[in-house]
């Protein structure tokens, strides 16, 4: 048993190193050929990358043992219980509790409060986003129960986002678009995916591939509407600062901060990870024992899985802080100082692709997509297609920031393309494509992309960090939807062409 577990973990570890390889190549390429200087903390970076790989391996094994089974089990039990009220309350509570403590959201909210001089309140921004995600997961769950096509909801949501954008103050638009990307955390995504797939599997007439995915898409969409409405209230009904100041010296230091290892910080990172996961566990076990009133099957395996997820996430975060963040952020700042826009776009493209390939939330969804589609969707191809979408999105977002164009024209154009692609894409790929936009912006991508956006806005003349610094995460969420649906359209075309060729061959014979 121990030998078998060690063998499985060794395989997971090997895959984790393979996933990190693109990031290492990008960083080494830019550091050696473009910056032409060796990083001062090279040993720390190497140790950090090893810790990240171990963390990823533990995380994936923990998902398989703990999070996926308990999420799907709860969904099946709720379906059997037949109480729509308790199911929707569970969905809302999961959405709210996982978002309110999301580290990426806390970081973005604190940054927004600092740049806006407190006009955007960090606490109320987090509450607004958490409420919107709770509402989104409940609405997405109701959609599965009713059996409505997801496209109607998502397209209606995009139209609402666009309409509200024309009334929202320009200072809040980029932040609102980014809020949709930072809500879907590394633990939330697998649990919510398990809930949707478990529910679709246990209701007669539902298809897990078509109906089970899509909850994450709802969680990425509604914060854009809620935060813009919050911005309208704040900027129109409260005292607006006379001038929005930029974070020149302080912001630059904040972004380019150097991480130093200390036992205290390492311990606090573990406590922080437990704190982030704890609301989810409280909600799960409360509903399991108090509402479903049924013991958890294979409890020891579930607990082992949850511990592995916590330790994996903890190792992952520590490794990122030691290895990737300092070097990624310093490269971003050095590139802005070199005044070569093409290098900025190239770095944005490559860092978008490489960080997405290492994103744990995307890996979790890809594994599930391959399983549910019975191998029709290959997890490695799906991840590469999503990573390509993120890369194109961040590169285009960097161009938008450098050129100073208003963000909403790009986003509105992107949404129009998403609606057109939805019409032509095969049904089975649409919900996965919508979810892909949410899972790309998580543990690895958000901090590096946010650092790049704010770094560019602070170092390019005439840019305002509050208006221009946010928005890259929105681009990273939007374009994977297009590339995944494009992949589905191409796959269907290729399949039909192959079928026609084999039919013609048969007729000739």
Scanning the structure block, which residue is given the tokens 């205290």?
264
In this predicted structure, the answer to whether residue 191 has a pLDDT above a threshold of 50 is: yes
pLDDT band at 142 (very low <50, low <70, confident <90, very high): very high
Question: Tens of pLDDT along 69-121?
Answer: 887 788 778 877 777 888 899 889 988 887 876 666 776 787 778 777 778 88
Work out the percent of the chain whose per-residue pLDDT is above 70: 87
pLDDT tens, position by position, 289-330: 888 888 888 888 888 888 988 888 788 778 877 766 666 667
Q: What is the pLDDT of residue 306?
A: 87
Tens-place pLDDT, residues 381-403? 999 999 999 999 999 999 988 88
Q: Are 434 and 214 in contact (CB under 8 A)?
A: yes
Q: Which residue's entry shows tokens 């919050």?
A: 230
d(CA 98, CA 281): 10
How many CB atoms are located within 10 Å of the residue 60 CB?
A: 24
* Residue 420: strand, helix, or coil: helix
The residue ranking higher by pLDDT, 378 or 337, is: 378
Chain-centre distance of CA 29, in angstroms?
A: 26
The CA radius of gyration of the chain, in Å to the nearest whole number, is: 22
Task: Please give the Cα distance from 443 to 102 (Å, whole number).
Answer: 10
- The token pair at 391 is 């890369």
Residue 250 has pLDDT above 60, yes or no: no
Where would I find the H helices in 147-295? 150-165, 170-182, 188-202, 208-211, 215-237, 248-255, 263-286
Contact predicate 175/126, CB 8 Å: no
454-487 pLDDT, tens digit per residue, is: 777 877 777 877 677 777 888 888 899 999 999 9
Residue entry with tokens 């909210």: 109
Distance CA 356, CA 391 (A): 8
pLDDT value of residue 241: 47
Average pLDDT value over all residues in the chain: 80
Distance CA(193)–CA(419), nearest Å, equals 23
Which residue is it, tokens 């380019």?
256
Instruction: Answer whether 0.85 is exceeded by the pTM.
Output: no
Q: Given a cut of 70, is residue 259 above it in pLDDT?
A: no
Alpha carbon distances (Å) from 151 to 12, 386, 428: 35, 19, 12
Beta strands in 274-416 (DSSP E): none
CA distances from 328 to 320, 347, 501 (A): 10, 10, 49
Percent of the chain with pLDDT strictly greater than 90: 13
Checking if the pLDDT of 251 tops 50, the result is: no
């Amino acid at each position: 048993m121990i030998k078998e577990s060690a063998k499985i973990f060794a395989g997971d570890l090997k895959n984790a190193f393979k996933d990190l390889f693109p990031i290492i190549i990008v960083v080494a390429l830019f550091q050696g050929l473009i910056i032409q200087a060796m990083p001062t903390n090279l040993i720390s970076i190497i140790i950090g990358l090893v810790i990240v790989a171990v963390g990823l391996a533990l995380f994936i094994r923990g998902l398989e043992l703990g999070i996926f089974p308990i999420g799907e089990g709860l969904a099946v039990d709720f379906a059997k219980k037949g109480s729509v009220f308790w199911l929707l309350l569970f969905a809302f509570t999961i959405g709210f509790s996982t978002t309110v403590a999301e580290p990426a959201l806390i970081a973005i909210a604190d940054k927004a409060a600092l740049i806006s001089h407190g006009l955007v309140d960090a606490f109320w921004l987090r509450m607004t986003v958490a409420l919107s995600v709770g509402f989104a997961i409940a609405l997405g769950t109701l959609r599965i129960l009713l059996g409505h096509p997801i496209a109607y909801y998502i397209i209606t949501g995009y139209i609402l986002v666009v309409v509200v954008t024309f009334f929202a103050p320009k200072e809040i638009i980029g932040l609102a678009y980014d809020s949709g990307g930072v809500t879907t955390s590394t633990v939330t995504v697998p649990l919510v995916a398990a809930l949707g797939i478990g529910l679709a599997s246990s209701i007669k007439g539902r298809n897990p591939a078509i109906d089970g995915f899509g909850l994450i898409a709802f969680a990425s969409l509604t914060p854009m509407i809620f935060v813009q409405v919050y911005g309208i209230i704040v900027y129109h009904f409260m005292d607006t600062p006379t001038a929005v100041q930029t974070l020149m010296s302080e912001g630059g230091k904040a972004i380019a901060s150097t991480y130093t290892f200390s036992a205290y910080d390492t311990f606090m990172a573990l406590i922080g990870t437990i704190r982030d996961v704890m609301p989810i566990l409280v909600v799960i076990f409360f509903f399991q024992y108090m509402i479903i009133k049924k013991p958890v099957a294979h409890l020891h395996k579930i607990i082992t899985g949850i511990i592995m997820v916590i330790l994996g996430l903890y190792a992952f975060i520590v490794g990122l802080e030691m290895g990737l963040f300092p070097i990624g952020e310093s490269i971003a700042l050095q590139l802005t100082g070199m005044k070569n826009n093409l290098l900025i776009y190239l770095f944005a493209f490559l860092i978008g692709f490489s960080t997405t390939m290492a994103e744990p939330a995307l890996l979790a969804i890809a594994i599930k997509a391959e399983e549910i589609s019975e191998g029709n969707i290959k997890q490695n191809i799906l991840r590469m297609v999503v990573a390509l979408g993120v890369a194109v999105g961040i590169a285009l977002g960097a161009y938008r920031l450098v050129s100073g164009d208003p963000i909403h024209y790009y986003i509105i154009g992107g949404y129009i393309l998403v609606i057109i692609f939805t019409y032509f894409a095969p049904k089975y790929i649409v919900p996965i494509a919508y979810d892909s936009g949410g899972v790309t912006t998580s543990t690895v991508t958000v901090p590096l992309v946010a650092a790049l956006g704010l770094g560019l806005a602070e170092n390019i003349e005439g840019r305002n960090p509050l208006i221009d610094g946010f928005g890259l995460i929105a681009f990273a969420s939007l374009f994977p939807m297009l590339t995944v649906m494009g992949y589905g359209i191409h796959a269907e075309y290729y399949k039909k062409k192959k079928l026609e060729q084999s039919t013609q061959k048969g007729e000739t014979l």
